[in-house]
Structure 1
């Protein structure tokens, strides 16, 4: 991974980020969504201080990670939900691990004690990565939503920071 760096997401990354997002959605196992949002919608739904992209030596965006607040209630100020997407051509090469490592460090520094996510059980690679990164399965929401006329389960994952008690 010497040729990959992680840096904060910028507005001029929007086209690449949304293309990677759409490719993930097109796989059918990344989200209930089927169409990537506009940049305005994407930007409005994610916390600005915890967004990162992985780039190669030429500056090409290979993947991204970002978080959203789970609630506006103060008691949940330290809980976020994350998404991580990698260009299909770069999957399986450690890009998502690098992005999650950066996100975990940044959120802990900011006092965030829980990162959570929902993953389709069919997304075995994502579940394995999250387990390796210290996430645990807290349950499965069975038949929680329909996608393309088919009921889907969602595995709920969380990573509690051992540094913030």
Structure 2
């Protein structure tokens, strides 16, 4: 089956929320206990970098980007949100979407992609490593899950290979234009 990746539209909102709810149910994808409304989800994600994966015309995954910070100093740093339908895992969907997000990020001036992943979500950690992300941090008991249990996360990041440094004088570096 072929995977097609396209830009997310408002028509995809029911599928996005359905797949997000599956992530809540597994207790591996998010610490959220309730699915957000479309309005809340929509407001928290950038309009650039919203994608949908389809197989045979059916939405089987989505990914989106969120600003890491409102500071201009970090305007090129974004958080990755990526979810795959529970019935379509291990079919290359996450890999296709994450590689598309990397391309979108490079084309839109985002120099660092980062993901916060629950430490038990080994498949997601492996996927991110396969796509060039590296582990840069571990957060102990950072939040409680839907059962009230403290959970740990792994922070992973990928620095753009296209948006690089011109040189560094030891105190600061200039970004290539």
TM-score (norm: length of structure 2): 0.90
CA RMSD of aligned residues (A): 0.9
Q: Which residue of 1 aligns with 2:22?
A: 23
Question: Which residue matches 1:142?
Answer: 140
- Poorly superposed stretches of 4+, deviation over 4 Å: none
Give the gaps of 5 or more residues in structure 1: none
Aligned to 2:125: 127
Aligned equivalents of 1:18 and 1:149: distance in 2?
23
How much has 1:4 moved relative to structure 2?
1.5
Q: Secondary structure at the match of 1:131?
A: helix
Q: In 2, distance between residues paired with 1:13 and 1:108?
A: 25
- Work out which of the residue numbers 109, 115, 133 in structure 2 matches 1:117: 115
The residue aligned with 2:77 is 79
Name 2:105's counterpart in structure 1. 107
C-alpha separation between the residues in 2 aligned to 1:131 and 1:56? 24
> What is the aligned partner in structure 1 of residue 31 from structure 2?
32
Residue 9 in 1 paired to residue 30 in 2? no
Deviations 1:81-110 (A, max 9, x none): 011000011110000000011110011011
Give per-residue Cα distances to partners, 1:99-123, cap 9 Å, x unaligned: 0111100110111100001101100
* Inter-partner Cα distance in structure 2 for 1:159 and 1:86: 20
Which residue in 1 is equivalent to 2:50?
51
TM-score, reference length from structure 1: 0.96
Asked if 1:41 corresponds to 2:40, the answer is yes
